[in-house]
Amino acid sequence: MANSLSARKRARQAEKHRLRNASQRSHVRTTIKKVIAAIESGDKSAAETAYKDAVPAIDRSVSKGLMHRNKAARHKSRLNNHVRNM
């Protein structure tokens, strides 16, 4: 456990940030899974709307530092290719 006041505060902040990041990361993963589920069900219109919901969530995770921009681009590209090939 941290001994100094500043170290204790940093530990509290780190825990808050960890919980917030975990929640946002979970939200992004859920939106991606919704797109995949719509693709597997064969419903193109649902897949397109799910993809349009997922893209801003993925971009937001990049701006918040949760995901690398290349990983986000890879996710968006692959999901878009799957949706277009339906």
Query: The CATH number of the domain where 70 resides is what?
Result: 1.20.58.110
Q: Which residue range(s) make up the domain with 25?
A: 5-84
Contacts of 27 (CB under 8 A, 6+ apart): 57
- Is pTM beyond 0.95? Reply is no
Write the single-letter amino acid at 39: I
**What are the pLDDT tens digits along the chain (86 aa)?**
778 999 999 999 999 999 999 999 999 999 999 999 999 999 999 999 999 999 999 999 999 999 999 999 999 999 999 999 98
SS (H, E, C) 2-71: CCCHHHHHHHHHHHHHHHHHHHHHHHHHHHHHHHHHHHHHCCHHHHHHHHHHHHHHHHHHHHCCCCCHHH
The structural domain count of the chain equals 1
Rounded CA separation 42/22 (Å): 30
Residue 81, classified by CB atoms within 10 Å of its CB into exposed (0-12), middle (13-18) or buried (19+), is exposed
